[in-house]
Every structure is written in structure tokens, then in C-alpha cells.
Amino acid sequence: MADKLETPTLDAESATLLHAISEHGGYAYVSMATLAAEAGDPRAAEAALEMAWEQLHSGPWHSVLPVWRDAYSMACLHVARLHFSNGELSEALRVLDMGLIMGGSLLRKDLDSAVEKVSAVARDSTVSDQSSDRRLVRHELDQEEVLRSLPIKSLSCKIVVKRPALSLEGFLREYFLSGSPVIISDCMAHWPARTKWNDLDYLKRVAGDRTVPVEVGKNYLCSQWKQELITFSQFLARIEANNCSDNPTYLAQHPLFDQISELRKDICVPDYCFTGGGELRPLNAWFGPAGTVTPLHHDPHHNILAQVVGKKYIRLYSASVSEELYPYTETMLKNSSQVDLDNIDETQFPKVHDLEFQDCILEEGEMLYIPPKWWHYVRSLTPSLSVSFWWSDIQN
């Protein structure tokens, strides 16, 4: 086993952080965390982790004090250090990922460097079969079967314009300034992800032991919808065994590439995302099985959806018809439509039937530009891995 995990930020900030935790009533936590750090007591480390976890769940997430998020990160590092010293690499990675997902920003560098070290040791101790061929997407789609699975009138009206290798000037003049969607093809061939992400063994090797938040259920508007924390290997297994399209497991709107740097190295930020002189938002991953649906909604920013593996059907409605799409009135869902495009209730939503829309099947290696406030519905036609690039322009 390699030497211990180094935590330079924790070592420098520990006393200050513990003092801040004491000021917020965390005396028992400080006692356990100190025992974990000085005596290497695993029970004390787990007790501190549990205390911080309880604080994270003491009320709405926005009301959790930042000091308790940092306390959770600290406890995760203490527990991970003990797992690592015992050769328990999977457990060390699990708790470090929990620190990245749920913890604060103070100890982020320590968590990242610890993950990098544990992952490297884990890879060195694993013998992989380089000759296997386990692809995520293998078969071509049957066009008639595809049409039967889509909302009514799909692919029968206006198809989104497709432009191969569109220049930045052309993108700015013809689509960005006018606020019009466009598919950009022949611009992702240099991404390592284009070949690597269709290889299940590769995904398992670089991310299999990492813990990720997934969503389970038809979509976030359904009452049965829930979230879980599972390993990436478990997630891939669910995609492979997806036999129930009504209850799929998928990874959506999670900053996966901030968490797993190996996957971030496989993609590139398109130059189009710097149009308008605004700010690039965190990159989001969209991984899931065939049949995964994102209900009709809109986003406040410019959006390029890059289809890395698989195919998706996407329907787009202009921002000018927002009222006719019956958005929810509740604050949390006001960017979502009440209309279920897979089963439209024309009595309740009579204006939808005659609305003009654009749609397309987004193929592997293509990017779709979605202007701000444009409504979009997305359905995965195959197992699908996509990356969403959001950015604001200088006016926002």
C-alpha cells in the first residue's frame, strides 16, 4: 500500500475550522474529529461523519450553514484516510465522493487530490481485459419503431437545420443573434469521448468505483421519482439491464466532470460557447438508458447539447409561445410545462395542438444549439451519453 493520503489544506485549516464548528454548537463533533485526527480512531471518525451528516439534513439544503458542509468534508477525509491505510480502496473512494457531492468548498483540493491518489492505486491493482468488446450502443434503430415511441406529429413538421462544421462567424450571425436553434455536425471527431464512452469496460475502469447521484423514475414531475447514491458500476449495470422504461435510472444535470476528472479529459468545450462574451456555467452530464424522458421545459441560458454516444429525439418550441404551453405557476417548476407531450390532454390544454415546433433526431457526434427560454422535450432513443454546455451572454 502506498503512503498515507496528504491533506495540506485540512492540516493548515483544521484548528480554525474546529473553532468555528464549536461556535455553532458542535462540541461533540469537535471531540470526535480531534480523536480521529490525533489517535486514528475509526469509531470516532465515523461518529463525526454521522454528526455532520445529521446537520446536513436538519432542514432545507439552502439553510445548512457552510461550516457544517466543511465539517462533513473534514470527517470524510478522516474516514477515507483510515480506509486507505487499511487497503479498503472502494470504501475510501465512496466516502471521498460523498465529500465532493455533499461537502463544502474549503477542503475541495484535498478531496480532489485524495481521489486522484486512491484511484491511481486502485487502477494499478486491477488487471483489465483489453480484448473485450462491450459497447453501450450496438444496434441501429428501426425507424418505424422509433416513430411509434414519439409524441404525435413528430418529424412531420419543421426539422431543425443541420450545418456541418459551422464557422463561429456563421453561428454568431445566423443563429446566436437571431435566437434560432441549429444542429452543428462534424465538430466532435477529435473528442476522445467519441470512442471511449461507448466502451463499458473503459467507463468502468475510470469511474466504476465512484459514487454518483442518480434519478430513478419516469421524470422529475412524477410522484414516484426519487434520487439515489450508487456507484458508477451499479449505474452502468442498470442501463445494461434496463427492462422497465417506466422506472429508468439516469444521471441528469450533475456536474460529473467536476467530480471525475478522468471523464473531463475526454471532452472539449466548443468554441461556440464563448460567443457573446458571457460566462460558461458548470458542465452537466446526461447519461441514461433508452426511453429516458426530460419533460418539456426551458432554461435561462444558451445551451449546446453535445450527443457523444447514442441518439435522442428533441422537440423545440419558441419562447414566444410560452403561455400556450401552460407553465406551472409554482416557483420551483415555473420553467416546466404542465403538458405531457406523450399523452396530451387536449381538453385541459387546447392551445398546444396547433403550435408550431421544430424537432430532430440528434445523432452521435452532433451538437444542438438551444437558445435561452426555448422550450424543449428530450427522449433517449438508445442508451445515451450527452454533455450540456450552458453559458450566459454579456447582457445576462
Q: Is residue 52 part of a domain?
A: yes
Lowest mean pLDDT among 111-125, 132-146, 354-368: 132-146
Same domain flag for 68 and 215: no
Same domain flag for 158 and 212: yes
Residue 354 is part of a domain; what is its CATH number?
2.60.120.650
Same domain flag for 303 and 387: yes
In this model, does residue 220 exceed pLDDT 90? no
Same domain flag for 96 and 196: no
Q: Is residue 133 part of a domain?
A: no
Same domain flag for 156 and 296: yes
Name the domain count of the chain.
2
Q: What is the mean pLDDT of residues 105-132?
A: 84
Give the angle subtended at the CA of 231 by the CAs of 209 and 236, to the nearest 5°: 100
Task: Give the model's pLDDT for residue 254.
Answer: 85
Q: Which three cell numbers stand for residue 175?
A: 443563429
Continuous segment of H or E residues that includes residue 243: none
Tens digit of pLDDT for each residue in 60-96?
A: 888 999 999 999 999 999 999 999 999 999 999 999 9
Tens digit of pLDDT for each residue in 292-337?
A: 899 999 999 999 999 999 999 999 999 999 999 999 988 778 899 9
Q: Is residue 292 part of a domain?
A: yes
Same domain flag for 375 and 311: yes
- Confidence band (pLDDT; 50, 70, 90) for 1? very low
Q: Which three cell numbers stand for residue 274?
A: 464563448
Average pLDDT, whole number, for the chain? 91
Q: Is residue 248 part of a domain?
A: yes
In this model, does residue 31 exceed pLDDT 50? yes
Same domain flag for 53 and 167: no
Q: Is residue 174 part of a domain?
A: yes
Q: What is the mean pLDDT of residues 242-250?
A: 71
Cβ proximity of 369 and 171 under 8 Å: yes
Same domain flag for 156 and 299: yes
Cβ proximity of 355 and 265 under 8 Å: no
Task: Give the model's pLDDT for residue 127.
Answer: 58
Ramachandran angles phi, psi of 328, nearest 5°: -60, 150
Same domain flag for 351 and 379: yes
Lowest mean pLDDT among 92-96, 154-158, 197-201, 245-249: 245-249
Domain carrying residue 356: 143-391
Q: Is residue 265 part of a domain?
A: yes
Q: What is the mean pLDDT of residues 130-154?
A: 78
In this model, does residue 104 exceed pLDDT 80? yes
Q: Is residue 217 part of a domain?
A: yes
Same domain flag for 201 and 277: yes
Q: Is residue 134 part of a domain?
A: no
Same domain flag for 89 and 147: no
Which residues have C-beta within 8 Å of that of residue 350, sequence separation ≥ 6? none
- DSSP strand E in 80-191: where? 158-159, 162-164, 182-185
Q: How many angstroms separate the Cα of 234 from the Cα of each of 27, 141, 187, 209, 245?
A: 38, 26, 32, 9, 17
- Residue 313 forms beta bridges with which residues? 361, 379
Cβ proximity of 188 and 367 under 8 Å: yes
Same domain flag for 165 and 313: yes
